[in-house]
Amino acid sequence: MKVENSDVPTIFNPRKPRLSQSNAVLTSDHRPYGPFSHVLSRSESLCQPEDVEQVEQCQRRQLGVFKRLKNKCCSKHARKVYYGLCVTFFVTASWVGATHAIKYLYMYHPTKYPVLTGSGFNFSSIHQQTLMTYNAPFFTTWFCTNWTVLFFPLYFFCQLGSPNYQTPTDILGESVRNFRDRGFTAAHFLTRCCMFCMLWVFTNYLYIHALSILVATDALALFAINVCCVYLLSWVILHDQFVGVRIVAVILCSTGVALLAYMDAGITNKKKTMTGVLLAALAAAGSAVYKVMFKKMIGDATYGQVSLFFSLIGLLNAALLWPVCLVLYFSEVEILHWDRLPWMILLSASTLSLVANLLGNLSVAFTYDIFITFGLITAVPVSAAIDITIHDVQFYGMKLAGIILISIGFLLVMFPNNWPEYIFRLLRNIILLSHSAR
């Protein structure tokens, strides 16, 4: 079928068509003046109504894409992820800071004293000896635990300043009411608080005492196995779901602990190292017992209940355990020189420990629990970098292998229950992307 020239669109026809009022954009009487007038005339003559509609449709599609991206990036799930990354950073920083501050307490020797050696008094028999001015793990534990008293006051003032304003009576009543509804009497509740206080102090004492023997990174890596211990106890006591990969994680962590126990050569060093590893591993187990028993006895507590519980632990620790500090001091089991006590380091360690506990217990309101737990294992490489840079610690052989195995086990135990389904989806998406790229 033959097509007439008049039927061909104007943009493909070199002949000038008959102008009509509907499609004539510019005439000789309305032609713009200036050096770019011919460009403007040509561009406007090419702008047909159909082209304008296509441009508007393209712009609407682009706006729709931007809106979808904005909704995804600013959704509730995305905000929780952003908050989670911040929480991981601060949990890592607080754990590393508190651990290295406590470790520095054992290396704090501000003064050297002249000591006479030999039978004769001459200048060659006098040498400088460093005096141990601080070696008090229980006093450190007691001092740091006292700061947990601030849990409920901080929660109380945050609630007063929140948009959902509550009166002080309502905040306190909400924190106590749920305990009363579960059948807790005052005596019963205080008894459980005392039990958890002793368990808390015992766990922290073991960890702080282990730091007097081990490098900070080794103690942190060993304490990280508490995640595996929590899973085992939850499986046995709370009847959580059995996940095979988490059993593999427990085996890897146990192997890592064994390698760290035998990382030092020599009989004397090996015994001392095994003692430190045993203390750190028991601290991890004690932390797991605390978490699982809290879940078993207290249940799902609100943030107000958790804050009140920790404040009571701090009060009971300050009121009941100070005689133990005095007994250890006067019996010279622990070394304290009050005139040379490193208060700034103690305050730094206590503050960072309080921040780590606050983030670990209350930041679930803003993000997912996995980001809080992940902050503990990310503290290990950060601490290793500090030990290598400042203290010239070398990580090789069984020490390096043990830390790596514990880290892998930590990551495996964090796998979700339906992890094979996630891996299947990931592989399917990779295959689809490879086919589409072809």
2-37: pLDDT as tens digits: 444 444 444 334 444 444 444 444 444 444 444 444
pLDDT of residue 82: 85
Nearest to 148 by CA among 308, 288, 346, 325: 308
pLDDT of residue 17: 45
pLDDT of residue 59: 61
Give the containing element (helix H, strand E) for 282.
helix 267-297
pLDDT of residue 79: 80
Nearest to 305 by CA among 125, 172, 131, 421: 172
pLDDT of residue 20: 44
Helical ranges in 74-114 per DSSP H: 76-106
pLDDT of residue 54: 66
Distance (Å) of CA 191 to CA 58, 137, 146, 297, 355:
69, 26, 19, 12, 27
pLDDT of residue 65: 54
Ranges of the chain with pLDDT below 50: 1-47, 113, 115-116, 119-126
pLDDT of residue 45: 44
pLDDT of residue 404: 92
pLDDT of residue 393: 85
DSSP 106-132: HT----EEEEE-SSS--GGGEEEEE--
Digit-coded pLDDT (tens) for 343-389: 899 999 999 999 999 998 888 877 888 888 888 899 999 999 999 99
pLDDT of residue 5: 46
